[in-house]
Amino acid sequence: MQPRSESGPPIATRPSLSTLSLGELRELILSRGLPEYRYRQLARWLYDKGAESFDEMTDFSLELRRELEREYALERLEVASRRDSAVDGSSKYLFRLADGAAVESVFMPTEKRVTLCISSQMGCTLDCVFCQTGQMGFYRNLEPHEIVGQLIPLWKRVRGTGTRTNVVFMGMGEPLHNVRGVVAACRLIMDPLGLGLGPKRITVSTAGVVPGIRRLARSGLGVRLAVSLNASTQEARERLMPRAAKTDLRELVGAAREYARRFQSRVTMEYVLMQGVNDSPRDADRLAALLAGGPFKINLIPYNPGASPELRRPSREQVDRFAQRLFPQAPAVTVRWSLGPDIAAACGQLHVEAADPPRTRRTASPRERGGS
């Protein structure tokens, strides 16, 4: 039996407001003969304020709330679970989607800012050796409302606190295999009637999908780009990221350079450091040479255990030595010790447990791999 609200038809038969674009939301309001400011109020309730029921929309008359409720549903992603870290204040959310799919997102507070890490796909086609998401296989791309929907409960924790907040597409999936969904979600996140975040507060991280980098550039959004590089030679990249490495390393670096030029902002090159795999002085020298003089920042991420028993995280001393070796040749180097390792929320650790079964398991269609 379908759920039913007191004042309307079964909820499942009503279109959900959260699946509408802002343009469609505006049209909905104007077509009812309501003034335009009602559209702005409704958008704010949906996104910035994250209302969970029409009753919360107290600047609407009771009559208007009932009218909207009769015709539309106000569905939110279901938070199936939330785990809070005992060591660093981060939280991992498991969201259940309408078709039974599930994805994870992470809330990461630091002294100066909060970072909200969201997913763009359930699973991933790329199967990088250091990442547990890749081991799940690929299920499907997320729709824009499923991407933005992850942010709603996380945003409520920072809204109104004045905390600098960034959104990163570094959760489950390869964002540039879902360009259509990611670009639409970014537009909503950036819109003043959405979450109102500027493009420099949003980072899209790719394992190296060059056509996707170019499409993201053509979208004109100007969000920050990060490239998960992890190797200083084509051969090493083929071992660590066999599917992503189908693109030649130099072509990838060239595409990142073009993107940086176009938006006049540095591209972050992420490098997961794995002991005895890619952390030698030679690796550091080759990495510096590969990126020499480019508009890049190198972000070293010590490996977080889980994906493979054969991989090890280097010690702090080894990480420091690698960074020091890079430093004179590549001055913009940072080390990111991931938050949330005690709740399996750190970089490379996101995956949906077997207890949360997806409906199907398949590989991406060419259309999904290419975005829209």
Q: How far apart are CA 49 and CA 46, in angstroms?
A: 6
Taking the complex as a whole, the smallest distance from the CB of residue 117 to ligand SF4 amounts, in Å, to 11
346 binds ligand SF4 (CB under 6 A): no
* Binding map of ligand SF4 across residues 60-79, x = CB under 6 A, - = no contact: --------------------
| Catalytic choice (104, 146, 174, 270) | 104
**Angle of helix 144-156 versus helix 179-190 axis, rounded to 10:** 40
Whether 251 is catalytic is no
Q: How far apart are CA 205 and CA 194, in angstroms?
A: 22
Q: Cβ–Cβ contacts within 10 Å for residue 292, how many?
A: 10
Taking the complex as a whole, the smallest distance from the CB of residue 121 to ligand SF4 amounts, in Å, to 8
Taking the complex as a whole, the smallest distance from the CB of residue 316 to ligand SF4 amounts, in Å, to 23
Return the number of the residue (131 or 300) whose C-beta is nearest ligand SF4. Answer: 131
Taking the complex as a whole, the smallest distance from the CB of residue 172 to ligand SF4 amounts, in Å, to 6
DSSP 8-state code for residue 61 = -
The structure tokens 């009503």 sit at 14
Q: Six-digit token pair at 186?
A: 């970014």
Return the number of the residue (174 or 283) whose C-beta is nearest ligand SF4. Answer: 174
Whether 117 is catalytic is no
Alpha helix stretches (DSSP H) within 168-312: 179-190, 210-218, 234-240, 249-263, 281-291
Contacts (CB under 6 A) with ligand SF4, residues 159-188: 172-174
Rg over alpha carbons for the chain, rounded to the nearest Å, is 22
Return the number of the residue (178 or 232) whose C-beta is nearest ligand SF4. Answer: 178
Q: Cβ–Cβ contacts within 10 Å for residue 17, how many?
A: 22
DSSP 8-state code for residue 333 = E
Residue pair 45/74 in contact (Cβ under 8 Å)? The answer is: no
* Binding map of ligand SF4 across residues 204-233, x = CB under 6 A, - = no contact: ---x--------------------x-----
Q: How far apart are CA 209 and CA 130, in angstroms?
A: 18
Taking the complex as a whole, the smallest distance from the CB of residue 124 to ligand SF4 amounts, in Å, to 3
Contacts (CB under 6 A) with ligand SF4, residues 111-140: 124, 126-128, 131, 133-134
211: amino acid identity, one letter: P
The count of residues interacting with ligand SF4 (CB under 6 A) is: 12
Q: Which residues are near ligand SF4 by CB under 6 A?
A: 124, 126-128, 131, 133-134, 172-174, 207, 228
Catalytic site positions: 104, 347
